[in-house]
Structure 1
Amino acid sequence: MFGRKKSVTGDSEAAAPGDAADSAPSTAGPHDRSAIADVTRYYTDLGFGHLDLGSLVIGVPKGRDLNVALDPNGQPEFHVVTSVSRVIPRAFAAPKSAGQWRTMVAGMREQLEGQGAEVTVEDGPWGRELVAAMPGAVFRAIGVDGHRWTAEVRIMATPELAEQAAEEGREVFEHLLVNRGEGPMPVREALPLTIPDEIQQALVKAQSQLAAQQQAQAYQQQMAAGQPAQAAAQARPQNPQARPQTGQTPASSSPAPAQEPSPASQPEQTPASQPVQKPASQPRRDGSAMDRLRGTDEL
């Protein structure tokens, strides 16, 4: 399964616009976007769908779905999901010198071990892969340094399906395209994404619903605690219709707050004709394994 670290295409290996080949580069990805002459053809030849987010192009293998969600900070992130795995691709600015991924792995390992996870670092096709075992779940992070960027995927799965999930994550990782841009950026800062208008509108709606939901929860907590009516009224949602109802979900066009599935559950599926799912909003379960993993931007 594991072999020598594969090379990664960067700006220095990109073909000039006038003589760029139509076929994919001979080296393994993730690739710098400038190395691909025709992005649409690249994914079509693979039999993949894809979503172009400007700084990051995510390929979606056949039989998988792409969900959009909100992370704990209310920022959008994209998940490639199957019944086996949930894969989250990301890309960061990096210095010209290599070594950022090694530093990120060390930071993740220290934090996860501090939370009681059993952490190992394995040798994978791109080098170091961090694996954290928790009750009922396995988290794996795969990354590599490109030319002034670092690409990463994070994979969540149940223990019995962890190896299959790792292969699914590697397939997504290998075909990421990264566009770092030329402007200065702090190292380890996430590359900004260009969100398509349709998805952006759904995200704005989801953020509003999340705010209303949080306000409603605060109101319910104050009422349950027997707080004075005046204080409870201040916490009460201004728009009663925005208050979530038990057993009811918002319209399916609204993305959910980013939440990894419970280890015993499977990621929600979408029809193949819909490349991006906007899952129904569900309250985050504080203290879940993935909540702890994603407590900081370093993880």
Structure 2
Amino acid sequence: MFGRKKAATGARESAAADAAAASTPPAEGPHDRSFIGDVREYYTDLGYGHIDLGSLVIGVPPGRDLNVALDPNGQPEFHVVTQVSRVIPRAFAAPKSAGQWRTMVSDMREQLEQQGADVSVVDGPWGRELVAELPGAVFRAIGVDGNRWTAEVRVMATPEVAEQAADEGREVFRHLVINRGDGPMPVKEQLALTIPEEIQSALTQARSQLAAQQQAQAFQQQMAAGGADRQATQADSGQQARAATAPAPTQEQAAPNPATQNQSAQNQAAPAQDAPSGPPRNEGRPAAPRRDGSAMDRLRDGDDL
């Protein structure tokens, strides 16, 4: 009986502690929108530019550019860019209890290792940071759980400036503002962005251009395949025509020579020494990198709008 009372008391104390934590703004961001009185004033005091996307407000430190690109699903994502780094902020719905970022790190690690990346998890200012070494690039994911949301930035850089890029990514991450909203959402679902009208127009045009390029590529591939089929058909027709016009063998040519026939049979039975035993292999050449249309591939290419 006394044990049950202690358990109930402990549960109440835990709930009170969670409520106190939720009502107390963190020492450093990312910040919940409820803790920021005036968003414009917040970034003006920092000397930052910013873009308000409804559920996510991104601050742009001095000397950096803000680009927008389409993800593999055709959805916009915003990049804070310098000559050193490319930083992609994102926000996700999360349960009231913490722990979603830990799960996300585990999932990313598994996916990246399947792609052949050298992946490690290191301690950062907010806890776990995932670092993946890729051919010619270093990918870093920084995240933290908030009030029913999880914030994340993904940082891409070349290996020689990876540490400087990590600092630039943390600077953007520290000043994100998240507006989760009160409505129910599936956990790990990315918070929907409200795109300004002028950017939406540019995205619509970019999608149209992308669709036209894909159609043109498909048409070129179809034409190339059709041309190969026509060449093969013409070659077969030429061989048939030559066979039809070839002179008939004379009686001496038609009579088999026993010695020649025996030698020919031996040659057919002997295995060809120079013939390959299977399909050609790319020995000594690296395997082509896998491209799964992920944000990482586009970041290496820098395909911005």
* Aligned residue in 1 for 2:155: 155
How many residues get paired? 219
Q: How does 1:1-299 map to 2 (within 5 A)?
A: 12-13=22-23, 27-226=27-226, 259-262=298-301, 279-280=304-305
Alpha-carbon offset, residue 26 of structure 1:
6.6
Change (3 A) 1:146 1:26: closer
- Cα distance in 2 between the residues matched to 1:168 and 1:12: 28
**1:261 Cα deviation after fit:** 3.0
The Cα of 1:135 is off from its aligned counterpart by: 1.3
Matched position secondary structure for 2:214: helix
Question: Residue deviations 1:16-51, cap 9 Å, x none?
Answer: xxxxxxxxx671000001101111111011110000
Per-residue CA deviation, residues 52-91 of structure 1 (Å, 9 max, x unaligned), is: 0000000000000000111111000000000000000000
The list of structure 1 runs, each at least 4 consecutive aligned residues, that deviate by more than 4 angstroms after superposition, is none
Aligned to 1:182, the other structure's residue is in SS state coil
TM-score, length basis structure 1: 0.70
Between the two proteins, what is the percent identity of the paired residues?
Answer: 76
Does the 8 Å contact 1:11/1:147 carry over to 2?
A: no
Q: Distance in 1 between matches of 2:170 and 2:224?
A: 47
Distance (Å, rounded) in 2 between the aligned partners of 1:57 and 1:13? 20
- Give, in angstroms, the shift of residue 12 of structure 1: 2.4
- Aligned equivalents of 1:227 and 1:144: distance in 2? 55
Contact 1:43 1:49 in 2 (8 A): yes
Structure 1 CA distance, aligned partners of 2:108 and 2:26? Answer: 32
C-alpha contact 1:137 1:156 (8 A) present in aligned 2: yes
Deviation, 1:177, is 0.2
Q: Which amino acid aligns with 1:259?
A: R
1:215-265 CA distance string (max 9 Å, x none): 000001111222699xxxxxxxxxxxxxxxxxxxxxxxxxxxx92134xxx
State the distance in 2 between where 1:47 and 1:151 align. 22
Compare the two structures and name the one with the higher helix fraction.
2
For residues 151-210 of structure 1, give each alpha carbon's deviation from its aligned partner in whole angstroms, at most 9, with x where no partner exists: 000000000000000000000000000000000000000000000000011111111111
Alpha-carbon distance in structure 1 between the residues aligned to 2:157 and 2:133? 10
3-state SS of the aligned residue for 2:96?
A: coil
Say if 1:11 and 1:32, in contact at 8 Å, map to a contact too. no
User: SS of 1:261's equivalent?
Assistant: helix
- Supply the AA of the counterpart residue of 1:109: R
Structure 2 unaligned blocks of 5 or more? 1-19, 230-296
Larger radius of gyration: 2
Q: Match for 1:190: what amino acid?
A: Q
Query: Which is further off, 201-210 or 122-131?
Result: 201-210
The DSSP-based 3-state class of the residue aligned with 2:190 is: coil
TM-score, with normalisation over the residues of structure 2? 0.69
Checking the alignment, whether the CA contact within 8 Å between 2:137 and 2:300 is kept in structure 1 is no
Instruction: Give SS of 1:226's match.
Output: helix
- Determine the C-alpha separation between the residues in 1 that align with 2:84 and 2:90: 20
For 2:224, give the aligned amino acid: A
Task: Look up the equivalent residue of 2:109 and give its one-letter code.
Answer: R
Unmatched 5+ stretches in structure 1: 1-9, 15-24, 230-257, 269-278, 281-299
2:243 alignment counterpart: none
SS in 2 for 1:259: helix
